[in-house]
Amino acid sequence: MALALMAAGCGGERGAAPSAVDPADVPEAERYGGTVVVGGLGEIQTMNAFVSSDYMTDQVQAYVLFMTLLRYDERLDPAPYLARGWEVSPDGNEVVFELRTDVRWHDGTPTTAYDVAFTFDRVKDPDVPYPSRSSFDNWETAEVLGPHRIRFTLRPHADFLNGWTALPIMPRHILKDVPPAELATHPFGTSEPIGNGPFRFVEHRPGDRWTFEANPDFPEELGGRPYLDRLVYRVIPNETTLFAELRSGGVHMYVRVAPELVEQVIEDPELRLVAFPFPNYSFIAWNSRRPFFEHAAVRRALTMAIDREEIVEAVRHGLATPAAGPVGPWHWAYDSARRPLPHLPDSAAVLLERAGWVDSDGDDVREKDGVRFSFELATNESRERRSIAELVQRYLANVGVEARPRVREHQSLVADVTSPERRFDAFLLSWQQGFVLDERDQWACDRIGRPLQFTSYCNPVLDAVMDSISQSTDRSDQGRLLRRYNELLANDQPFTFLYVERRADALRRSLQGVAPDFRGELADVGSWWLLEGAP
């Protein structure tokens, strides 16, 4: 089982496809045609790039319907896309982008530098609810130099091009007259989007599906017309129903398949699994205002009491990597030699004892200064996290610490943990990081009291490192700083970093050309094709 998972994890296939045709034998010219249905549990609400915030929506916008100025390559270096290239002034205060001249909106209008300037202006406008506006905080002005040339002024900072890899350029000729405050609700996003990407919009049936068709005019240099005729995204909010649709051929891909279904996917000869490292990690946040979690030594002891390898096997069926800190295996600065704290319950007990937590009344729970080491471990309704909370309860009981798991409705839990009063002892959640690891909102001393500084943890050395990371424009320098950042958090354990997800998708074997990496499953959607005669 573990071996099979590892094979699947490498994006490889287990066993030979039961079809008579070897996909490699199908000539390129015969790969065109067909409709692929992608099924997911979550709804895609809008094609309006100014308001989106969830993962699948961003994927469809950036890779299917629209184009971003730049894209990340597999090394997380910005690469040309709508922009053919760019030049940075020696002092780093100016960037000039040279755009492609052969990209048109799907209504025939050319995509120009005016669209880029328009998109930038709206993103900077506080009336537009663009959730990632902070990626453009250091960008100041835009000046169109010609139909396909645009100059920006900015303050030099780390990963300064990041914002342009995520923001789809929006059509100025359609949206320019919409008042910024009304952009979020303009029908463009939900019923009449016009893009310039490899697929064109066909139809949106809210709560049901989005349909797209191949754009025959997509530039050859960027892959040209996609192989597929049509791409459909269907929302099927129930796991059992979605999996039944996959097995019966109603959908070709089940995105982010539930871990407990992984074994069934591997055993089904008509299906295969692809998995890839994904910037989403699970953690337990310790509220350092509580007497139990004040000291790093105690937090380290708690982490050492928890068997993360076992959690990964039991709850994720192997589809995760135990985490040392916030820099995960998907990131270029990840140091695979830096092992997470080991699972050593005996050492954990010693650490707790040294910190003054002793069980003197024989009730199997330690106490100190009359306070029992007993706290509430809150989590949300997710089955995965409920199981982890129960395991953690057991691990901690072994070292004389009582964790009381409590399942909360997600929004209520979020409201409590982000409140300035920090109405929690410890909580267990997972979340998705950005590609740029500027996480000062979570850790910086001056953010204590702000919503994302859950733990009220403060380390001035870490602050200095984080500030340097945000300024560094040199990769080797940045790599060194990021490893230091990871190291400091691994030592202080304001969170117990449980694991970094390996995101897994289940596919029918007829669906070929899917080789996702951390950038997401739709990044290479133009090269997907359907193998005729395969299940």
Residues in contact with other proteins by the rule CB under 8 A: 35, 37, 43, 45-46, 48, 51, 53, 126-127, 129-134, 181, 184-185, 187, 189-191, 203, 205-209, 232, 234-238, 240-242, 244-245, 247-250, 270, 409-412, 414-416, 418, 431-434, 439, 441-442, 450-452
Min separation Cβ 330 and other proteins, Å: 15
What is the smallest separation between the CB atom of 240 and other proteins, expressed in angstroms?
Answer: 5
3-class DSSP state for residue 63? Answer: helix
Residue closer to other proteins (CB basis): 97 or 243: 243
> Closest CB to other proteins among 36 and 488?
36
Between 358 and 445, name the residue whose CB sits nearer to other proteins.
Answer: 445
Q: Compute the least distance from the CB of residue 162 to other proteins, in Å.
A: 10
In whole angstroms, the minimum distance from the beta carbon of 235 to other proteins comes to: 7
Nearer to other proteins, 111 or 211 (CB): 211
Identity of the residue, 255 or 351, whose beta carbon is nearer to other proteins in the bound complex: 255
User: C-beta of 532: minimal distance to other proteins in Å?
Assistant: 17
Q: Quick check: 339 and 333 in contact, CB under 8 A?
A: no
Distance CA 263, CA 205 (A): 33
Record the tokens describing residue 433, joined without a space: 């990081």
Structure-token pair, residue 270: 């008509």
- Map tokens 């287990």 to a residue: 14
Q: Are 447 and 440 in contact (CB under 8 A)?
A: yes
Q: Which residues contact 534 (CB under 8 A, 6 or more apart)?
A: 17, 18, 19, 21, 23, 508, 509, 510
Q: Are 468 and 481 in contact (CB under 8 A)?
A: yes
**Residue 195 contacts residue 65 (beta carbons within 8 Å):** yes
Quickly list DSSP for 290-301. Answer: SGGGSSHHHHHH
Structure tokens at 308: 């993360």
Which residue's CB is nearer to other proteins, number 51 or number 266?
51
Nearer residue to other proteins within complex by CB, 351 or 469 = 469
Cα–Cα distance list, 15 to 1, 263, 272, 288 (Å): 13, 14, 9, 50
**What are the residue ranges of helices labelled H in 103-188?**
113-124, 162-166, 172-175
Residue whose CB is less far from other proteins, 33 or 131? 131
Asked if 350 and 358 count as a contact pair (C-beta separation under 8 A), the reply is no
Q: Shortest Cβ distance from residue 333 to other proteins (Å)?
A: 17
Q: What minimum distance in Å lies between the beta carbon of 441 and other proteins?
A: 6
- Nearest approach, Cβ of 387 to other proteins (angstroms)? 21
Task: Find where tokens 């079809």 sit.
Answer: 19
